[in-house]
Structures are given as C-alpha cells and as structure tokens.
Amino acid sequence: MDIVWLASYPKSGNTWLRFLLYSVMHGPPAQSLDIARKIPDIHRPLPTDVMNDERIIAKSHYAFSEKHPKASDTERAVLIIRHPRDVLFSALNYRRLAGLTTAQMSDAQYARLFIAHKGDPEFNAQGFGTWEGHIQSWNNQTDFPIHLVRYEELKSDTAAHLRAVLDFLEIDAPQSAIDKAIEASSFDSMRAMEIREKHNSAANPKSQSLFVGNPKSKTYFMNAGKTGHTLRSISPDLESAFNKSFAESMQRYGYE
C-alpha cells in the first residue's frame, strides 16, 4: 500500500483540497462523507472505501517523523501552508465551533496564547507541532517528494495550482473535470452542504458529517476562507507582537 498524504497544520485548507481532488476524480460529492470514504482523515474514524487500495490519498495534521502513522508506506505528500495570521483566526473560529474555547477566554487572550506558543498549544499537544515546526518536519525530510501549496495561491488561481497538484500526483484529468471540481468545491457550495448536514444532524444526532461542531451553533466549519486578516481588529498591540514572534518563519516560507 502506498500512501499520499495531504499534510497541513490545522486550518490551512486541507478540507478544501480534499473536496477539489475528490470532485476531479469522482465527480461532485452528494454529501461530505463521500470525501471521507475516498480521501480519509487519519484523525477521524469515519467510513472509508479505500483500505485495500494499492494507493491511498489521506489527510494528516501530524508533524512528520518516523513515528507518523504508516510513515514507511509514504509515497509522496502535498504540503498545504497558510499565512499563520489567517490560521490564527480560523483556529479561533474552530475552537468556538468545537466548544474548545470557554467563555472565559477572550479573542485577545487566545491570540496572545497563539503568538506566545507560535501556534495553538493544543495542536502542539496533539502532535501537530508549531506552525513552522510542522512545515519543517515535512518540507525538510528527504525520504519522499513534497509538493508545497500555499493556500493563498490556490485561492487566487485555483485551476493552475490544482492542475499542478494533479500533475504531482500523476492524476490525468481533463480541464472540464477541473472546472467542474472548482465549481462544486466553491465556498458557497461547501457552506450550503454544511448547512444541510447541520440540519440533518439536529434532526438525527447519529448522522455523520465531515464538518465538525455543534449542530445548534451559528458558527460554521466553513467560516470565511479569507486571507489578509489583521490582529488590529482584536487589539492594537497584537499585530506588532505577532510580527515579532513570526517574522523569521514567515519570511522563510514566503510571507511578508
């Protein structure tokens, strides 16, 4: 069995890329579990149809090491990175969605925690590392090839960067399939699917979904997908503190 990892620090666009790849290879999904069946997430025990396949594409947030699950079976990996400031905002939304942030922790307190630990400390405790540490663990290893994708570039020219990923994975696809995948995996399409599945989950608590969180919450997994956030919206002093903490690592990976 050969495994192709879609690797990323959490909240960097991994789910979106899974939707895009699924849609190219299998057509638009009818439900989010369709993606889980063909491109499983090693962090969630959802139904999968690929365990006996010769080649599996799977999602991982773990930092890479010889202790990574199925490390010796790795064929190659796509590494998705995103500006750490935007990751901070997306992670804050995720904490609210998953009920991990208590009412006693303000946005400013979470931001300071993220800045001080160079990432979400709970992500680090789960084996994901810091923002930069995660990237280095995959990008600096020499056991298998890596294709690096910046979330911002995938968003600005989805067709070109999705084509580059497909070429790296040696997946042949006509342009028409890529165009349909982009349409099926748009933010609006994915948000609409999440809303439908939230309603289903509220009516049937045993129903499963790729999207996580409280079905009664008004916060969404598909939150905004924005780039270029500023911490000044939370507190004026946070922007300079963030830049001081992340300056070297941002520059190393092409972020100003």
Of 34, 60, 38, give the one whose Cα is nearest residue 49: 38
Find the range with the poorest average confidence among 33-37, 159-163, 208-212, 249-253.
Answer: 208-212
Angle, alpha carbons 173-80-112 (nearest 5°): 155
CA dihedral (40, 42, 45, 50) positive or negative:
positive
pLDDT number for residue 125:
95
**Residues 57 and 73 sit within 8 Å (Cβ to Cβ):** no
Give residue for tokens 């789960």: 126
Residues 6+ away with beta carbon under 8 Å from 143: 74
Phi-psi map region of 83: left, alpha, beta (phi>0 left; psi -120 to 50 alpha): beta
| pLDDT-based confidence at residue 22 (cuts at 50, 70, 90) | very high
Domain boundaries, the chain: 2-252
Give residue for tokens 């930069």: 132
pLDDT number for residue 203:
47
Find the range with the poorest average confidence among 16-20, 30-34, 72-76, 167-171.
Answer: 30-34
What is the percentage of the chain residues whose pLDDT exceeds 90?
64
Write the pLDDT tens digit of every residue in 60-107: 999 999 999 999 999 999 999 999 999 999 898 877 766 655 556 788
Average pLDDT over residues 176-197: 87
Which has more confidence, 221 or 30? 30
Flag whether pLDDT at 51 surpasses 80.
Answer: no
CA dihedral (97, 100, 102, 107) positive or negative:
negative
Average pLDDT over residues 18-42: 93
Find the range with the poorest average confidence among 86-95, 178-187, 191-200, 229-238.
Answer: 191-200
pLDDT number for residue 94:
75
CATH topology of domain 2-252: Rossmann fold (3.40.50)
Write the pLDDT tens digit of every residue in 231-242: 888 888 999 999
Q: Which pTM was predicted?
A: 0.87
pLDDT number for residue 92:
87
Flag whether pLDDT at 214 surpasses 50.
Answer: no
Q: How many helices (H) and strands (E) does the chain have?
A: 11, 4
Q: pLDDT averaged over the chain?
A: 87
| C-alpha Rg value of the chain to the nearest Å | 18
**Residues 49 and 207 sit within 8 Å (Cβ to Cβ):** no
pLDDT number for residue 99:
61
Of 207, 198, 197, 222, give the one whose Cα is nearest residue 32: 197
Find the range with the poorest average confidence among 50-54, 77-81, 128-132, 201-205.
Answer: 201-205
Find the range with the poorest average confidence among 15-24, 153-162, 209-218.
Answer: 209-218
Angle, alpha carbons 153-76-40 (nearest 5°): 80
3-class state of residue 60 by DSSP: strand
Average pLDDT over residues 160-174: 97
Which has more confidence, 24 or 44? 24
pLDDT number for residue 97:
67
Phi-psi map region of 38: left, alpha, beta (phi>0 left; psi -120 to 50 alpha): alpha
- In this structure, how many other beta carbons lie within 10 angstroms of the beta carbon of residue 223? 18
pLDDT number for residue 135:
98
Two tokens, residue 80 = 């998705």
